[in-house]
Amino acid sequence: MVKICCIGAGYVGGPTMAVIALKCPDVEVVVVDISEARIAGWNSDRLPIYEPGLDDVVKRCRGRNLFFSTDVERYVGEADVVFVSVNTPTKTRGLGAGKAADLTYWESAARMIADVSRSDKIVVEKSTVPVKTAEAIEKILAHNGRGVRYQILSNPKFLAEGTAVRDLFAPDRVLIGGRETPEGQAAVKVLKGVYARWVPEDRIITTNLWSAELSKLAANAFLAQRISSVNAISALCEATGADVAEVACSIGKDSRIGPRFLSASVGFGGSCFQKDILNLVYICECYGLPEVAEYWRQVIGINDYQKSRFVNRVVSSMFNTVAGKKVAVLGFAFKKDTGDTRETPAIDVCRGLLGDKAVVSIYDPQVTEEQVRRDLAMRKVAVTTDAYEAARDAHAVCILTEWEDFRSLDYRRMYDVMQKPAFVFDGRNIVDPEKLRDIGFIVYAIGKPLDQWLKDMPAVA
Ligand SMILES: NC(=O)c1ccc[n+]([C@@H]2O[C@H](COP(=O)([O-])OP(=O)(O)OC[C@H]3O[C@@H](n4cnc5c(N)ncnc54)[C@H](O)[C@@H]3O)[C@@H](O)[C@H]2O)c1
Ligand SMILES: O=c1ccn([C@@H]2O[C@H](COP(=O)(O)OP(=O)(O)O[C@H]3O[C@H](CO)[C@@H](O)[C@H](O)[C@H]3O)[C@@H](O)[C@H]2O)c(=O)[nH]1
């Protein structure tokens, strides 16, 4: 029986291992983490992350062939295959600060693997890492190996939060990169054998190590670039009277472009896109490719522009000041169906509004008050458990996450308890502007034709 251990019980490690355990009942899967709170959460009825469908998967195999533990060294030592799914944030200090990936957690995991291993192991990079990281890991393991042999594989994760379980059950592809040696290829075969239990063979792609590592960064850069492209067009739509939804639909019909990932928004968020593009930019600079670096940097530049454009639109529409005015923020998570707030555009928008002295009241169905306060560094905001409460006496409502429930709120009820003129700024294009205008709202929706009111009060980006 193959024994798998995954280091890192986060958004990737937890769901991925739960699905492997479910699909391979004869494989023992142990997820380990240094965070006692996280492991306690995985062993409880309230999992530490919110992900549709995950509770059911975990309940079906926890205690059977899926285990969560803080005894990192024991389970790493016993495993045949060790996945490393630790966090790889952007470096905040020193060489490459603000761009390069911080591999501190990765390196300490690699050194620990070398310390505790007594049998040969396949080490799988699950975290998103800079291209060539496998080489560095090989060196650490080889220099501390005491005769234990390791094969490093790159097996990046492409799951998106909110749809993680669905993405894991039916992935577009599974990518496995390995050394082009007989030992490397044998290791690839072992991992392929695990996924082949439920993923069709033609969806399991095998490549060399560097292609697999780079494909992950490139995929995220392409996805983010699509959003920045449509967001750039949204600004032009507002200036010209075109409607970004119509433009996106028209261009998306071209089968070479395709319809997905073309929703204009207040900006992309999440723990991956910005971090991975910055990492790509840094790698390009390190390889002496400043033009390529600059090209990708612009994807983030447009994203920042989109967020500040939104804030400016709110402030300028409300007579150029929001000081002392209550603004209800609906949605704080970086996207629907998750409680994750990492790099959420809501943080920048709230900071912008607070900077202009607005009184901000936030409602999100999944984000805790404690998390909001942490993200906004304890700045004075109200966090409510109800959208209508957030809107009471507010001058404006800003929709920042595309939660389905926000589509069907009773906006007339909100209008009745708000100050007048009452504004809705829809950063996700989920409400029907015409219906809201009929109620009496002044409505701004990203990339949509502007109300006369908004035209009369142009925003400076
Ligand atoms: N979040 C996503 O949707 C997503 C998707 C694809 C890829 N990724 C990548 O996967 C990696 C993990 O992301 P995440 O969102 O799961 O991160 P996370 O922060 O949710 O989880 C990482 C976990 O690793 C643990 N950890 C760190 N060092 C450790 C060590 N030495 N020993 C044991 N545990 C340790 C931390 O305590 C934490 O619980 C990152 O590289 C990320 O870029 C994330
Ligand atoms: O048309 C769109 C699509 C998405 N977004 C925003 O883009 C961000 C990222 O969304 P999404 O990609 O769905 O979520 P993530 O969980 O960040 O997943 C991305 O990042 C993961 C981590 O690397 C990858 O594994 C996934 O393939 C990749 O989609 C969110 O703020 C979305 O609201 C838009 O604004 N418009």
Give the pLDDT of residue 457: 81
- DSSP conformation class of 461: -
Ligand lying nearest the CA atom of residue 89:
1
The share of the chain scoring above pLDDT 90, in percent, equals 95
| CA 346 – CA 367 distance, rounded (Å) | 12
Is 13 near ligand 1, meaning CB less than 6 Å away?
Answer: yes
Of the residues 54, 168, 268, 429, which should be mutated to test ligand 2's pocket, given the most ligand atoms within 8 Å of the CB?
Answer: 268
| CA 441 – CA 433 distance, rounded (Å) | 9
Is 157 near ligand 1, meaning CB less than 6 Å away?
Answer: yes
Say how many Å lie between the CA of residue 10 and the centre of ligand 1.
5
Of 248, 60, 53, residue with least CA distance to 162: 53
User: Model ipTM?
Assistant: 0.96
The question of whether 249 is a catalytic residue gets the answer: no
Is 164 near ligand 2, meaning CB less than 6 Å away?
Answer: no
Of 61-65, 136-140, 340-344, 400-404, which gets the smallest average pLDDT? 136-140
Of 24, 26, 29, 31, residue with least CA distance to 8: 31
Ligand lying nearest the CA atom of residue 48:
1
> DSSP letters along 422-435, please?
-EEEESS--S-HHH
Specify whether the CB–CB gap between 187 and 178 falls below 8 A. Answer: yes
- Between CA 354 and CA 327, with CA 348 as vertex, the angle to 5 degrees is 40
pLDDT tens digits, one per residue of 13-29: 999 999 999 999 999 99
Tokens at residue 41, please? 């959460």
Give the pLDDT of residue 407: 97
User: Which atom in ligand 1 lies closest to the alpha carbon of residue 128?
Assistant: 41
Tokens at residue 319, please? 């007579």
| CA 43 – CA 88 distance, rounded (Å) | 25
Specify whether the CB–CB gap between 423 and 395 falls below 8 A. Answer: yes
Q: Which amino acid is at 161?
A: E
- DSSP conformation class of 29: E
CA 317 to chain centre: 31
pLDDT tens digits, one per residue of 170-218: 999 999 999 999 999 999 999 999 999 999 999 999 999 999 999 999 9
Instruction: Tell me the average pLDDT across 29-57.
Output: 96
Give all domains of the chain, ordered by start, each with its CATH number.
Answer: 3-199 (3.40.50.720), 302-456 (3.40.50.720)
Name the closest-CA residue to atom 26, ligand 2: 160
461, pLDDT greater than 60? no
Is 331 near ligand 2, meaning CB less than 6 Å away?
Answer: no
Is 85 near ligand 1, meaning CB less than 6 Å away?
Answer: yes
Say how many Å lie between the CA of residue 67 and the centre of ligand 2.
29
User: Which atom in ligand 1 lies closest to the alpha carbon of residue 157?
Assistant: 6
The share of the chain scoring above pLDDT 70, in percent, equals 99
> DSSP letters along 163-213, please?
SHHHHHHS-S-EEEEE-SSHHHHHHHHHHHHHHTTTS-GGGEEEEEHHHHH
Mean pLDDT of the chain: 96
Give the pLDDT of residue 345: 98
| CA 334 – CA 346 distance, rounded (Å) | 7
Of the residues 86, 223, 271, which should be mutated to test ligand 1's pocket, given the most ligand atoms within 8 Å of the CB?
Answer: 86
Enumerate the known binding-site residues for NAD(+): 8-13, 33, 38, 86-90, 127-128, 161, 272-275, 342
Is 124 near ligand 1, meaning CB less than 6 Å away?
Answer: no
Question: Under 8 Å CB-to-CB from 333, ≥6 apart: which residues?
Answer: 339, 340, 341, 344, 346, 364, 366, 367, 401, 403
Give the pLDDT of residue 144: 83
Handedness of CA 318, 324, 325, 331 (dihedral sign): positive
| CA 91 – CA 295 distance, rounded (Å) | 21
143, pLDDT greater than 90? no
225, pLDDT greater than 60? yes
169, pLDDT greater than 80? yes
pLDDT tens digits, one per residue of 311-367: 999 999 999 999 999 999 999 999 999 999 999 999 999 999 999 999 999 999 999
Say how many Å lie between the CA of residue 105 and the centre of ligand 1.
9
Of 436, 433, 434, 437, residue with least CA distance to 410: 436
Give the pLDDT of residue 147: 87
Of 117, 113, 87, residue with least CA distance to 102: 87
Place of tokens 């490690």: 13
Of the residues 5, 6, 11, which should be mutated to test ligand 1's pocket, given the most ligand atoms within 8 Å of the CB?
Answer: 11
> DSSP letters along 350-419, please?
HHHHHHTT-EEEEE-SS--HHHHHHHTTT-S-EEESSHHHHHTT-SEEEE-S--GGGGGS-HHHHHHHS-
pLDDT tens digits, one per residue of 378-434: 778 999 999 999 999 999 999 999 999 999 999 999 999 999 999 999 999 999 999
Question: At 115, is the pLDDT very low, low, confident or very high (cuts 50, 70, 90)?
Answer: very high
Q: What is the largest CA-CA distance in the chain?
A: 75
Enumerate the known binding-site residues: 8-13, 33, 38, 86-90, 127-128, 161, 272-275, 342
Ligand lying nearest the CA atom of residue 430:
2
| CA 287 – CA 45 distance, rounded (Å) | 48
Is 401 near ligand 2, meaning CB less than 6 Å away?
Answer: no
Give the pLDDT of residue 460: 63
| CA 371 – CA 377 distance, rounded (Å) | 10
| CA 457 – CA 434 distance, rounded (Å) | 20
- Catalytic member of 272, 284, 350, 398: 272
Is 9 near ligand 1, meaning CB less than 6 Å away?
Answer: yes
Of 74, 75, 50, 25, residue with least CA distance to 334: 50
Say how many Å lie between the CA of residue 2 and the centre of ligand 2.
33
Give the pLDDT of residue 323: 97
| CA 102 – CA 211 distance, rounded (Å) | 21
Ligand lying nearest the CA atom of residue 109:
1
- Between CA 401 and CA 299, with CA 451 as vertex, the angle to 5 degrees is 45
Of 6-15, 68-77, 126-135, 251-260, which gets the smallest average pLDDT? 126-135
